[in-house]
Chains A and B, each alone.
Chain A
């Protein structure tokens, strides 16, 4: 059996990538501009906030607790070697609030909601519901995309705070129950180590991640082609692209904040 491979010109690939970036940028800009144009579709935004925020709560609670506990568990043995087990609260606090809380929450919500948005909007594309909406005189970017962008950025902010808190509780459970760290000492170190820039870093990231998750999910949904198979492809691509973008943006935001506020 002979296999045939179609060679694709690198120039065509580059053109496709450039076009995709251009379309994504335009969609993202339009989704933001719509916040300043009526109507705002507050009802749709609240509905999305419920779906994204409340719907993601169980998974965020579980991952927050687990990551906090694991962080404490893995660092405890090293700290014990240097007799610094009492510093475990500091380590969990910095790790959760500045990095792991926003990152894990972002990745979890990306897996759950970027795929949901891509598949929902993709299905609407292939069944001509988006065309029907345009034909009925309604702008789909206003009605469908902007509420998702607003709701995801808003809810991810609060989900991250919940994940941070639960991570600290998970870390406390391990530190106290397994390593005998005093309750007051743990929470005092957790509180004292945090400064403005840590909290700022930890709370600016989820807003950016929320924007990435929703715009990437909506972009892949709205650019779906090729029936139900296309919907599946868009869903997968949305999760992969949003997760990778979150990791990349996380690195650069952290670097930028270090550049602005200086290293600790």
Chain B
């Protein structure tokens, strides 16, 4: 399925920090009451890399994304985002950092009292951008997700897939350096899921934005590993056999609160771990 034309601005979203990783977890643990959700989690997300996070329901995938953004605090361990230690920052300092990070929530989390254009332009409004500039950029980003017609609608008037695309538009409007996707295709039909995957791929290949993507659908991650976005035809195309995507793509699997796999598609496909083989079969 073809996606619409690209925004006119230059692809300068991914401003690489002079050193460090886009996101780094160092021995992070968190428990709710007696239930340990994440136990000694360590991994790194390179600048420009997309990492797909897998795990059964309740394995702490969404918690991991919230920790990365400082929306939750771990019980122990350190988390870095864009070279800054999230775990040592105050809430006020985090508000500044979060302006450089975009997130798409599982159920979209659109503000239901605001219209689509107010949702998408929320961050720009908060930053005091002029109304004309907000309208221009909102329209541009809605065109990017092929939803310009919803500009004046309320979230309650949109389908699940449309809400998810509006949430992506809201997350990318300020061209963040890191994007966090929480089950972006969860609960959607295959056609709509493909549209969402294509949008994520477009963001990855055009803007080279680093991304952590939580998903239940292995096929989405494999599609991202075996396809790339072709700006000439404005749609995703299959990579020739044996050729890897120019943007690094990796996989991370959580089980029993621990990381049991962190590697690329080839390593995943050739893994001898019984659980992983069963998971990907």
Contact A137 B123 (CB under 8 A): yes
Interface flags for B78-120 (1: CB within 8 Å of A; 0: not) read 0000000000000110111011010101110111100000000
Closest to A126 in B: B107
B residues in contact with A138, CB < 8 Å: 95, 122-123, 126
Q: Is A135 an interface residue (CB 8 A)?
A: yes
Q: Known contacts A127-B107, A128-B107, A129-B109: does B96 contact A134 (CB below 8 Å)?
A: no
Interface flags for A116-150 (1: CB within 8 Å of B; 0: not) read 00000000100111011111111100000000000
B residues in contact with A134, CB < 8 Å: 71, 94-95, 98
A-B contact count (CB 8 A): 51
Contact A131 B109 (CB under 8 A): yes
Q: Is B69 an interface residue (CB 8 A)?
A: yes
Contact A131 B122 (CB under 8 A): no
Q: Which residues does B use to contact A, with CB under 8 Å? A: 66, 69, 71, 91-92, 94-96, 98-99, 101, 103, 105-107, 109-112, 122-123, 126, 170
CB distance from B45 to the nearest CB of A (A): 17
B residues in contact with A127, CB < 8 Å: 107, 109, 112
Bound Cα distance A124, B122 (Å): 16
Closest to A135 in B: B103
Among the listed A39, A133, A135, which residue makes an inter-chain contact with B69, where contact means beta carbons less than 8 Å apart?
Answer: A135
Contact B109 A128 (CB under 8 A): yes
CB distance from A140 to the nearest CB of B (A): 10
Bound Cα distance A132, B269 (Å): 35
CB distance from B155 to the nearest CB of A (A): 10
Contact A137 B105 (CB under 8 A): no
CB distance from A143 to the nearest CB of B (A): 8
Bound Cα distance A138, B123 (Å): 8
Among the listed A39, A128, A129, A137, which residue makes an inter-chain contact with B99, where contact means beta carbons less than 8 Å apart?
Answer: A137
